[in-house]
Amino acid sequence: MDDEFEGVEHAVEHGGVDPESASLWDNEEALDALRAERQVKTEESYEQMTKRLFEEASPLAAQRIIHIAVKGANENTALAAARYITDKMYEGELGGAKPLWEKIVYEAVSQAELHANAERS
């Protein structure tokens, strides 16, 4: 692969694990890489290293969640991804209130009940 992210981009585009890169994962190699990194960055605690690794991986993880929400073949998985995104976007704005998706569903159900009751009358 020419680009170190090519396999990851393929996985994101296809909503799953890239078959080529999946077979290439080696736990021992990954641990050796972390040990080597730890020797170079001796001032960094395990907690700081973990936080940095998550920060470095977060853009790709966010892109994958968005892809699943928008193009996921499984409706339940796509809904869960969309709900997660919506909750994260409005987490701070709601200040402990129900997640936005619950509010949207509640309003939709309320409107449906109003229309159903109006038709019965």
Task: Give the mean pLDDT per block of 10 residues along the chain (121 residues).
Answer: 48 52 76 90 90 90 92 91 84 60 78 80 66
Task: Mark whether 52 and 17 lie in a shared domain.
Answer: yes
Angstrom distance (rounded) from CA 7 to CA 20: 7
Total domains in the fold of the chain: 2
pTM for the predicted model, two decimal places = 0.50
Instruction: Tell whether 62 and 91 lie within a shared domain.
Output: no
pLDDT of residue 102: 75
For residues 66 and 112, membership in a common domain is answered with no
Burial (0-12, 13-18, 19+ Cβ within 10 Å), 7: middle
Domain that holds residue 62: 1-71
6 and 49 share one domain: yes
Structure tokens at 41: 């960055």
